[in-house]
Amino acid sequence: MLSNRHVHLKEEDVAALFGEAGLTFNRYLSGNNGPWASNEFVTLKGPKGSIEHVRVLGPCRGYNQAEVLQADCYKLGIKAPVRNSGHHDGAAELELIGPCGALTIHSAIIAHRHIHVGKELLEETGWVPGETFVKVHVGGIRGLVFENVAIVKGGKGMMMHVDVEEGNAAGIKNGDKLEIIL
């Protein structure tokens, strides 16, 4: 799955941005459950520039987090590090602006490319979430091998997540089948 820039919020910070109505469900990102796109958007504001119309994903998490593209960092004037979700050491400061107010977070990151692996498959492979890294081969005219792909738990089977710059660089789109190189 290719992810564009997006935002995760803590339950208690939603009202500051969107008022009492909170986040409203738009659609599941994949299948019939799991993470979903809300109908709510924020503007990201950094020291150099802003990016409008950035979608908030649900459900809420235990932390606020903006996942941005490297190109966004240049535009915003921030240095977001490449990190796994929820890992915010050295993460960048960014202001989120909603229709009802603003919020400064210290957790803007570029998502580390990863593969969600279901429980059964983790047992079968012996892969350890957070410790195992694999390579993934992509064929075609923009063919490449992604190295340093983190294994994380979640979902069923396997689903690789890259951001749109990574996906576009490899010439892939949602639903493409890729090859893991061990």
The answer to whether 139 and 146 have CB atoms below 8 angstroms apart is no
Q: How far is the CB of 98 from a copy of itself (least distance, A)?
A: 24
Give, rounded to a whole angstrom, the gap between the first and last alpha carbons of the chain: 21
Which of these ranges, 7-15, 43-51, 118-126, 156-164, lies near a copy of itself under the rule CB under 8 A?
156-164
The answer to whether 28 and 112 have CB atoms below 8 angstroms apart is no
- Two tokens at 74? 């240049």
Q: How far is the CB of 91 from a copy of itself (least distance, A)?
A: 14
* Residue of 79, 145, 156, 179 that binds a copy of itself (CB under 8 A): 145
Q: From residue 171, how far is each of 88, 120, 138 by CA, in Å?
A: 29, 30, 8
* 90: contact with a copy of itself by CB under 8 A: no
The contact mask relative to a copy of itself for 102-131 (x = CB under 8 A, - = no) is ----------xx------------------
The C-alpha angle 27, 162, 69, rounded to 5 degrees, equals 90
* 37: contact with a copy of itself by CB under 8 A: no
The contact mask relative to a copy of itself for 42-81 (x = CB under 8 A, - = no) is ---------------------------xxx----------
Q: How far is the CB of 112 from a copy of itself (least distance, A)?
A: 7
The answer to whether 92 and 81 have CB atoms below 8 angstroms apart is yes
Q: How far is the CB of 80 from a copy of itself (least distance, A)?
A: 12
* Residue of 16, 158, 164, 180 that binds a copy of itself (CB under 8 A): 164
DSSP string, 6-75: EEEEEHHHHHHHH-TT---EEEESSTTSSSEEEEEEEEEE-SS-EEEEEEEEEEEESS-EEE--HHHHHH
* Strand partners of residue 120: none
* 178: contact with a copy of itself by CB under 8 A: no
Residues lying near a copy of itself in the complex (CB under 8 A) are found at: 69-71, 82, 112-113, 141-148, 162-166, 168-171
